[in-house]
Amino acid sequence: MEYRTLARDEIDRIWTIDRSEHIDNVYRVVEGELHLEAQPIDAPGWPADTEPTYTPLLIETFQRGGGFFAAFDGEQLAGLSVLDTVWLGPNRDLLQLEFMHVGRDYRGKGLGKTLFEQAASAARERGARGLYISATPSENTIHFYQSRGAKVLAEPDPTLFALEPEDIHLECPV
């Protein structure tokens, strides 16, 4: 596996990551607490509107100096974490883990842990106290972030919450 930063002209390769998965359970936040609910979902890959919606946002993040931490298996982009540079949180001391995906064939092999740590390390170097994470509510995703110390945010960022109200909004110390 080769770990390196993603170049600006490689952003469109993000959509080649195989995001498909079967989800058995999802979390919901009820009165500030996580509640697990059975909800089987077959996620076949990227929703149709993802690429046209998120590519411009990722390009903006890149132009602001965001960190794009990539893992390649030969020519295949196996996973990616993206750290934004916009300060969030009530004390403006959190940086957003804007994007984190590991391809289906690469999950459970430590790739996500490495990509997460690269983003967390970059956040520390920039002076952040923690990461703001708006996470897909799947059980596996939330457990991944919890195992790194993430906790549910008492007060999610209003703008990010409006964009992704079904996501679980977390804070993770770096």
At 13-58, the pLDDT tens digits run 999 999 999 999 999 999 989 999 999 999 999 988 999 999 999 9
What is the domain-level CATH number for residue 158?
3.40.630.30
Structure tokens at 31: 């009165």
Q: How far is CA 62 from the centre of its chain?
A: 15
Q: Give how far Cα 114 sits from Cα of 1, 33, 103, 111, 154, Å.
A: 11, 28, 14, 5, 27
Number of domains making up the chain: 1
Confidence of residue 114 (pLDDT cuts 50, 70, 90): very high
Q: Which domain holds residue 35?
A: 2-173
The pTM score is 0.95
